[in-house]
Amino acid sequence: MMRPIEAMSVLITGGGSGLGAGFARFYAERGAKVTICGRREEKIKAMARELGPNVRGEAADVAKDADRRRIIAAAVEHGGGLDALVNNAGNMLHGPITGLEEQALIDIFHVNVVAGMQLTGLAVPHLEQRRGAIAFIGSVHTRRAFPGASAYAATKGALEALTKVLAAELGPKQIRVNCIVPGAVPTEINIRAGLFTEEQHAKRMAGLASSHVLGRIGSEEDVAEAMDYCLRADWCTGHALVIDGGLSLGLSNF
Ligand SMILES: NC(=O)c1ccc[n+]([C@@H]2O[C@H](COP(=O)([O-])OP(=O)(O)OC[C@H]3O[C@@H](n4cnc5c(N)ncnc54)[C@H](OP(=O)(O)O)[C@@H]3O)[C@@H](O)[C@H]2O)c1
């Protein structure tokens, strides 16, 4: 049975922009208590103000243990417990395999994979009390090969593997673990990584539309609806839900 949204307390990392902000909006508009975090204090506070009193914004870096403990405590306090953890914070690293720097690789694995694992461990005692759920955010990069994105794709592949193991490990505690695998949605991620200007990014996204079976790129709400299913459907665990308008089908007009 799908549990009622308005009774939920949800912690979303990286909720100051993009998909995370979309998840926060989706749940806050439906009455859930939402806690979001990000490193840029102004950004996270502005998003919390925009979304209203159901949302609490915390400036925090998920790569830091003290910050992770603080956001778990903040979410538990704000929502009176914790029903869902959305490990959404993530970064892009781009470049040929011949030029990738070791520290940059360590950094992207730290934020995209290790931080979510550690946060998950801290969330378990709280989620256990509410038969809660965890979502990781994978990527269509595990379904389509984009040259130059090996590091990013590898982190996303790790999350899919992790999802299965943690679903098995946490199932006896009645905690469900799923991974959302989104296609292309226009957000800041590539701009923050210094890959494109906003104008170049808009052009690139528009160019990608025709690679989708449905002829369009995605929206934050498209992805939020899919994630909501995984968080609230009581018998759904260990699943990777591709939500990409058919991008991963590899449309070919030959
Ligand atoms: N957009 C897409 O097409 C797409 C497709 C598939 C998967 N995804 C995944 O979706 C997730 C969200 O990305 P997005 O596309 O929405 O990009 P985004 O708008 O750049 O959002 C990512 C957020 O993560 C936060 N963040 C990064 N490092 C952090 C850290 N160490 N601690 C706390 N917060 C951190 C950033 O805020 P601060 O810089 O302020 O910390 C930012 O608000 C990522 O995991 C991404 O890989 C995106």
pLDDT of res. 1: 75
pLDDT of res. 254: 75
pLDDT of res. 178: 98
Set 14, 134, 152, 187: catalytic member = 152
For residue 95, how far is its CA from the centre of ligand 1 (angstroms)?
Answer: 18
Which atom of ligand 1 is closest in space to residue 185's alpha carbon?
3
Is beta strand 176-182 parallel, antiparallel or unpaired with respect to 9-13? Answer: unpaired
According to the 3-state scheme, what is the secondary structure of 145-180?
CCCCCHHHHHHHHHHHHHHHHHHHHHHHHCCEEEEE
Active site residue 152: yes
Residue 55 β-bridge partners = 34
Q: Decide: helix, strand or coil at residue 66.
A: helix
C-alpha to C-alpha distance for 156 and 88, rounded to whole angstroms: 11
Spell out the long-range contacts of 154-159 with Cβ–Cβ below 8 A and sequence spacing 24 or more.
154/109, 155/90, 155/108, 155/109, 155/112, 155/113, 156/112, 156/181, 158/109, 158/112, 158/113, 159/87, 159/112, 159/113, 159/116
Is there a contact between 56 and 74 (Cβ–Cβ < 8 Å)? yes
C-alpha to C-alpha distance for 140 and 157, rounded to whole angstroms: 10
Q: Decide: helix, strand or coil at residue 45.
A: helix
C-alpha to C-alpha distance for 139 and 210, rounded to whole angstroms: 19
CATH of segment(s) 5-244: 3.40.50.720
pLDDT of res. 252: 84
Digitized pLDDT (tens) for each residue of the chain, 254 residues in all: 788 999 999 999 999 999 999 999 999 999 999 999 999 999 999 999 999 999 999 999 999 999 999 999 999 999 999 999 999 999 999 999 999 999 999 999 999 999 999 999 999 999 999 999 999 999 999 999 999 999 999 999 999 999 999 999 999 999 999 999 999 999 999 999 999 999 999 998 889 999 999 999 999 999 999 999 999 999 999 999 999 999 999 998 77
pLDDT of res. 2: 83
- Indicate whether this model's pTM tops 0.95: yes
Ligand 1 site, CB within 6 A: 13-14, 16-20, 37-40, 43, 61-63, 88-91, 111, 137, 139, 182, 184-185, 187-189, 192
Which atom of ligand 1 is closest in space to residue 191's alpha carbon?
20
pLDDT digits (tens, 9 = 90+) for 8-29: 999 999 999 999 999 999 999 9
The two three-digit tokens of residue 235, written as one number: 């018998």
